[in-house]
Structure 1
Amino acid sequence: MSDDLGFGKLLYDDGLVARLLGKTRKGRNRPLLYGPDLPVVLLTGGPGMGKGRLLRCVRDEFGRHVPAVHIDCAAPAHAERAGQHPSTRSEVTEALREMAVQFGAWGGDGGPIAVPRLYAGLVAVAAGDPLAGSATGLEEVRRHDDLLPRGSFWGGVLHRAFRSYLAALAALLAAQPLATPLITAILDELFERVSSEGKAALEDCYGAYSGAAGHPRLGLHGLSVDFQQGGEGRANAESFLFRALREDVEAAYTSVRGRMARAGRPAVLLDHADNALGRRLLRPVLLDRESGHHDRVAVFATARRADGGRFLYRSTDADADAVASWGPADGGLPVWQRARGGVAGLVAPARGVLLVRMPTLTTEQQNDEVARLQGRGQGGGAGHAGHPGHAGHMSHAGHAGHPPGEHASRLRVESGIHRLGGGRPRFVTRLGEGAASLRVREPGAFTDWDLLDAPVRSRDEPEGRPVPVADLLLDDLIVRQLPEELPPEQHDHWLDLLSHLSVAHTGSCAQELMLARQAGRDERLSAYRVAELLADSGWPHCPRHFIGDRGLRHLLMRRLHRMGAQGAWQADHALLRDHFASRFPTATDDQCGTAAAHAAHHHLAMGGAEAAVDHLTGAFPLRDATRTMAEWCEELLAIAGAPCAAPLAGDPDDRHARALGEAPPTGGDWLRRRVDRLLHAVWLYEDRTRPVDQALTGTWRQLLDRLGDEPVPGTEVLTRKAGEWAQLAQEKQPLKPCACTRHLG
């Protein structure tokens, strides 16, 4: 994937990033946006939307001109290092230390950024374990030596002061036992050798710590004690350490040398910032800025939920609905100003956030990326080697020459990627990689299911055996991005549970599946809890489908069809069919109108077209005077929204022939035959796993008009529906649109 694919409006010279940092990608100055009160910029979007890729792009491109430290809050290294000495380390201190190292390695204008305030705090924490021996404690203290600025000791003191400080630490290490507690000895040595400028810096910083009353020694000692207490005390200490680091950065810009040599704003880039570590880093920044403690650090962070995450809000806060939100498609630059009013400490932290919606790829961008991956665009690379897909529609790429119908084949692939991906960058790139390994022999028979079977090699194992692109996408989007609150005992079952839920609509029918598929387990998840976990993972909600993203739902349905030898697809649809069939037939159903129609929907998904036709024929107002024509049309659309298993299994798909009357059903009167044709025509159209066949949709008006041949109340509804459906089909829009199919057409 091109590093900046889809990010043009964010990264261009007068875009949001350049204006926040004051520098373009080429290093030109730009007027600063906002200030001195800065928002925390939260990049929001679900899995595969490119949030982490954008942060890496900012680090690599803008980080050549302004200091930009990058932290992956989901990286296991922070917890691993903290676990080596949990009494004096935490994930937050390890992340802050990594930030300090990156600031200290800055080689651009102004040189490295020294972090004396953070150093003092980390040293106090390292020396604060009352149970550690002096040797162990001093080893923890000396671990932070690399954070000390080389060549001077906090400004204004010759290098010998620095050397004498290190020598004093070595002497303490040799003294067994120490005459005083280690933290006292360390702070004595620190304040003995620090310059007057350094003492002033520590006084301004740690003199403001709770209970210090302006005395930096007391502040550092209190911070160490709070860290040892754990819980809220440790959280307060960690918050203050991050403030100390930001004050170090601020000092580097406001010093005489900094004002002359540094330009723009430094950046802290926090990937996966909506997990536990990210929240512990973001919250102190938000609370400090809410209380008027401002700094010039531009904080960019990522969050999967559209609202940034529940930790930003208070349940009773009146400002929760007024959080600033902006997307590149909105145009211009976001207007942001902190809301006024409220009691400090009681308002929601979200007031200090600017939510930036990650952009989806346009159709043109999608096609350009597919062309690049297939070697048809500028800088296009070679396709991945693969194996033929099922159904005989594809073959290896790389043969000399261009196959007949190449243009039609390309359009088939591009439209399939658009339907499945909906502009989600990870979908587009993975499917494009798969398409690069295929050549479509029969464009008319090629479906989206064939595209999901396209073989690619994993980037983690480039020499390994090719696997279907659908499996790699599930690994990218689900397996590697488990919900934070998912119980550990459910980790191995999460993908299976979602696969079963791909056939569900509402929470109630999803719950039926959960009860059946988790029978016998001590630890169970309800469907309603699964819905919460999906929302926390950034997956969208659709009122008509439990799995609210169309592409993800297709990945999961494909997997369900291949799960085990017991036929999970048939079993799940049969379970829901029987569940709704057991209810009173005319009982109201939110999805399909009646329980009987909902049962027919799942029967149709199992291949039971005859049962679905029987239901619609019996429910037609000519036969059932209790139904109106409008209700019947709605039931038709609800039933015809069933997925079809035939293409998944590689079986012949006779829907087209039955819709055109080329394979009429055996038996039945004129009404049943016409209903049969109409159902198959609508079913094939609503399936949308291939481009729209306009010849097929042209039969709707005739079929609907023929249904109104008999004097049935409401036949004018059929005429009106024929016009409405024809217009929707002309624009290639779904007949029963929902949140996850808006991109179709």
Structure 2
Amino acid sequence: MHRGPHGQGPLFDTDPPGLAARLVGLRPYQLRPSPYEHQGDLPFVVFTGGRGLGKSALLAQVRAAYQGHTPVALVDGEEPQFAGPPPERPGEAWSPVAQALTTVAEQLAEPVTGARRISFPRLASGLLAVAAGGWSDRDVPRIRQEAERILLLNDSRSFLDGFGGRWASKVVAKLVASMSSTGPVVEPIIEATLEAFSEGVSPTHRRLRRAATWYRDCPDAGGNPKLGLILLSGHFRAGGGSRIHAERYLVRALLADLDDAYAGVMQRSHRLGRPVVLIDNVQEPAGRGLMECVLRDRTDGVRDQVVFLAALRGYAHPALRNATRRTLAEVARTTGWKAGPSPSSRALLVSLPPLTPDDT
């Protein structure tokens, strides 16, 4: 039995399995499978409590328990990178949610035991279209830096041999060359991206082509992936509800890329358990936006197999009004959670008990 702050056996136990093992399908700190509690719909688990209850430490423990065994990402909504756009980047081409998606994908892409890196071509295509909306100033050094970071999400091989960097640099050069000295750049950038993704015959390039065509199913795209990406970029720049719509599609792109990584008998045989995304301070814009996109899609029947564990400062939130509520002790052997008709009912709030003097 694992012991830590709160006597966290309910979360980290292995025999019988605690909450983490039942959701992830792996025993904590071990590359050994564990039975799933939820085979279809998954609860979006949110740990609740006031300041000083160890919520951040709890998420860090989960990351340590599964890092290297299954893809894991941890973001904190209070990090400075989510407070506002970096210098020189226009606000209409940046949002806390888009920044969080980039950070999450970079961490999930790290290789784990027995499996290759995960690539994110759908997400990269969408993020490039969004970023291009802020490239009208032709600041080439900044464009290169932003585009290369996004493109490096695409390769499933290790970058130790430099392949990923060389491929990304080649595509970035093509993107920069596509821009004229005047006029809009979004459409030329999208055209150059789709062209770069369509080249080559390797399995990697076939994956890129399949991912690029994914945007043909965007609303109003009429089966045209280029138009889908142009609409995505325009909705993002428009802000308000239109941006939320675009962010939801970007989140869906991340989850679709993860589904691809686990599709087929061969991939599943190399990837034990489920990927894990940890969100600290989920009440902040980056975390809340990501959470609400996932909850809405799950309500609309867009399924994924990602384990989301978040930490909320406080015990309630308007976005979680219909969530199931449990204490940590109550989820030790089963969550008792069932999906309801509203987005917030897809969440499971787990309150943490006060720390003991020994914990402190």
Q: TM-score interval w.r.t. the shorter chain?
A: 0.7 to 0.9
Asked whether the equivalents of residues 103 and 114 of structure 1 are also in contact (C-alpha less than 8 Å), the reply is no
- 3-state DSSP of counterpart to 2:93: coil
Alpha carbons of structure 1 residues 277 and 132: separation in structure 2 relative to 1, 3 Å: same
Query: Is 2:83 the counterpart of 1:73?
Result: no
Aligned twin of 1:10: 11
- 3-state DSSP of counterpart to 1:301: strand
TM-score (norm 1): 0.43
Once the two structures are TM-superposed, the CA of residue 179 in structure 1 deviates from its matched residue by: 8.2
Once the two structures are TM-superposed, the CA of residue 37 in structure 1 deviates from its matched residue by: 1.2
Aligned twin of 2:235: 226
- 3-state DSSP of counterpart to 1:303: strand
Deviations along 1:655-697, one digit per CA (max 9) or x if unpaired, are xxxxxxxxxxxxxxxxxxxxxxxxxxxxxxxxxxxxxxxxxxx
Asked whether the equivalents of residues 23 and 29 of structure 1 are also in contact (C-alpha less than 8 Å), the reply is yes
Aligned twin of 2:217: 208
Measured in 2, the distance between the counterparts of 1:76 and 1:187 equals: 30
Query: Is 2:109 the counterpart of 1:109?
Result: no
Asked whether the equivalents of residues 110 and 257 of structure 1 are also in contact (C-alpha less than 8 Å), the reply is no
Deviations along 1:89-132, one digit per CA (max 9) or x if unpaired, are 22222111111111122333312211111111111111123742
Alpha carbons of structure 1 residues 177 and 201: separation in structure 2 relative to 1, 3 Å: closer
Query: Is 2:357 the counterpart of 1:356?
Result: no
Asked whether the equivalents of residues 129 and 137 of structure 1 are also in contact (C-alpha less than 8 Å), the reply is no
Alpha carbons of structure 1 residues 3 and 78: separation in structure 2 relative to 1, 3 Å: farther
Once the two structures are TM-superposed, the CA of residue 141 in structure 1 deviates from its matched residue by: 2.3
Aligned twin of 2:43: 39
Once the two structures are TM-superposed, the CA of residue 24 in structure 1 deviates from its matched residue by: 0.9
- 3-state DSSP of counterpart to 1:23: coil
Once the two structures are TM-superposed, the CA of residue 168 in structure 1 deviates from its matched residue by: 5.0
Once the two structures are TM-superposed, the CA of residue 74 in structure 1 deviates from its matched residue by: 0.9
Measured in 2, the distance between the counterparts of 1:167 and 1:179 equals: 23
Code of the residue aligned with 1:30 in structure 2: it is S
Aligned twin of 2:319: 311
Q: How many residues align?
A: 342
Query: Is 2:266 the counterpart of 1:273?
Result: no
- If asked which structure has higher relative contact order (CA below 8 Å, sep 6+), I would say 2
Measured in 1, the distance between the counterparts of 2:137 and 2:27 equals: 49
Aligned twin of 2:153: 147
Asked whether the equivalents of residues 116 and 157 of structure 2 are also in contact (C-alpha less than 8 Å), the reply is no
Once the two structures are TM-superposed, the CA of residue 27 in structure 1 deviates from its matched residue by: 2.4
Alpha carbons of structure 1 residues 300 and 132: separation in structure 2 relative to 1, 3 Å: same
Code of the residue aligned with 1:37 in structure 2: it is D
Once the two structures are TM-superposed, the CA of residue 84 in structure 1 deviates from its matched residue by: 4.4
- 3-state DSSP of counterpart to 1:273: coil
Code of the residue aligned with 1:223 in structure 2: it is L
Alpha carbons of structure 1 residues 244 and 108: separation in structure 2 relative to 1, 3 Å: same
Q: How does 1:162-177 map to 2 (within 5 A)?
A: 166-173=169-176, 177=180
Code of the residue aligned with 1:24 in structure 2: it is R
- 3-state DSSP of counterpart to 1:70: strand
More moved, 27-36 vs 169-178? 169-178
Alpha carbons of structure 1 residues 181 and 134: separation in structure 2 relative to 1, 3 Å: farther
Q: How does 1:42-57 map to 2 (within 5 A)?
A: 42-57=46-61
Alpha carbons of structure 1 residues 164 and 65: separation in structure 2 relative to 1, 3 Å: closer
Measured in 1, the distance between the counterparts of 2:165 and 2:61 equals: 37
Asked whether the equivalents of residues 82 and 286 of structure 2 are also in contact (C-alpha less than 8 Å), the reply is no
Alpha carbons of structure 1 residues 134 and 329: separation in structure 2 relative to 1, 3 Å: closer
Asked whether the equivalents of residues 119 and 156 of structure 2 are also in contact (C-alpha less than 8 Å), the reply is no
Once the two structures are TM-superposed, the CA of residue 171 in structure 1 deviates from its matched residue by: 4.7
Aligned twin of 2:22: 19
Code of the residue aligned with 2:212 in structure 1: it is L
- 3-state DSSP of counterpart to 1:147: coil
Once the two structures are TM-superposed, the CA of residue 222 in structure 1 deviates from its matched residue by: 0.7
Query: Is 2:128 the counterpart of 1:123?
Result: yes
Aligned twin of 2:95: 90
Asked whether the equivalents of residues 29 and 264 of structure 1 are also in contact (C-alpha less than 8 Å), the reply is yes
Measured in 1, the distance between the counterparts of 2:151 and 2:168 equals: 10
Deviations along 1:61-108, one digit per CA (max 9) or x if unpaired, are 122322110001111122255454123222222111111111122333
Q: 2:208 aligns with which of 198, 205, 216?
A: 198
Q: How does 1:623-662 map to 2 (within 5 A)?
A: none
Aligned twin of 1:339: 340
Once the two structures are TM-superposed, the CA of residue 241 in structure 1 deviates from its matched residue by: 1.0
Code of the residue aligned with 2:12 in structure 1: it is L
Deviations along 1:203-237, one digit per CA (max 9) or x if unpaired, are 33x22322223322111111111111122222221
Asked whether the equivalents of residues 42 and 307 of structure 2 are also in contact (C-alpha less than 8 Å), the reply is yes
Once the two structures are TM-superposed, the CA of residue 17 in structure 1 deviates from its matched residue by: 0.7
What percent identity do the matched residue pairs reach? 32
Asked whether the equivalents of residues 324 and 355 of structure 1 are also in contact (C-alpha less than 8 Å), the reply is yes
Deviations along 1:352-398, one digit per CA (max 9) or x if unpaired, are 0111121335xxxx46x2xxxxxxxxxxxxxxxxxxxxxxxxxxxxx
Alpha carbons of structure 1 residues 233 and 4: separation in structure 2 relative to 1, 3 Å: same
Asked whether the equivalents of residues 148 and 168 of structure 2 are also in contact (C-alpha less than 8 Å), the reply is no
Structure 2: runs of 5+ lacking an equivalent: 199-204
Asked whether the equivalents of residues 125 and 223 of structure 1 are also in contact (C-alpha less than 8 Å), the reply is yes
- 3-state DSSP of counterpart to 1:300: strand
Q: 2:187 aligns with which of 184, 187, 190?
A: 184
Code of the residue aligned with 1:274 in structure 2: it is Q
Alpha carbons of structure 1 residues 228 and 176: separation in structure 2 relative to 1, 3 Å: closer
Measured in 2, the distance between the counterparts of 1:16 and 1:28 equals: 15
Query: Is 2:245 the counterpart of 1:236?
Result: yes
Once the two structures are TM-superposed, the CA of residue 250 in structure 1 deviates from its matched residue by: 1.4
Deviations along 1:125-145, one digit per CA (max 9) or x if unpaired, are 111237422636733323423
- 3-state DSSP of counterpart to 1:144: helix
Alpha carbons of structure 1 residues 96 and 161: separation in structure 2 relative to 1, 3 Å: closer
Deviations along 1:568-627, one digit per CA (max 9) or x if unpaired, are xxxxxxxxxxxxxxxxxxxxxxxxxxxxxxxxxxxxxxxxxxxxxxxxxxxxxxxxxxxx
Asked whether the equivalents of residues 32 and 264 of structure 1 are also in contact (C-alpha less than 8 Å), the reply is no
Over the residues paired in the alignment, what is the CA RMSD in angstroms? 2.8
Once the two structures are TM-superposed, the CA of residue 286 in structure 1 deviates from its matched residue by: 0.1
Deviations along 1:314-362, one digit per CA (max 9) or x if unpaired, are xxxxxx3xx322223335311111125xxxxxx3x2210111121335x
Q: 2:305 aligns with which of 293, 296, 301?
A: 296
Asked whether the equivalents of residues 105 and 112 of structure 1 are also in contact (C-alpha less than 8 Å), the reply is yes
Aligned twin of 1:665: none
TM-score (norm 2): 0.85
Asked whether the equivalents of residues 134 and 177 of structure 1 are also in contact (C-alpha less than 8 Å), the reply is no
Asked whether the equivalents of residues 97 and 247 of structure 2 are also in contact (C-alpha less than 8 Å), the reply is yes
Aligned twin of 1:329: 329
Deviations along 1:532-557, one digit per CA (max 9) or x if unpaired, are xxxxxxxxxxxxxxxxxxxxxxxxxx
Structure 1: runs of 5+ lacking an equivalent: 153-158, 314-319, 341-346, 370-424, 430-745
Measured in 1, the distance between the counterparts of 2:135 and 2:84 equals: 23
Q: How does 1:601-680 map to 2 (within 5 A)?
A: none
Once the two structures are TM-superposed, the CA of residue 28 in structure 1 deviates from its matched residue by: 1.8
Code of the residue aligned with 2:79 in structure 1: it is A
- 3-state DSSP of counterpart to 1:87: helix
Alpha carbons of structure 1 residues 168 and 115: separation in structure 2 relative to 1, 3 Å: closer
Aligned twin of 2:201: none
Once the two structures are TM-superposed, the CA of residue 261 in structure 1 deviates from its matched residue by: 0.3
Code of the residue aligned with 1:354 in structure 2: it is L
Query: Is 2:34 the counterpart of 1:30?
Result: yes
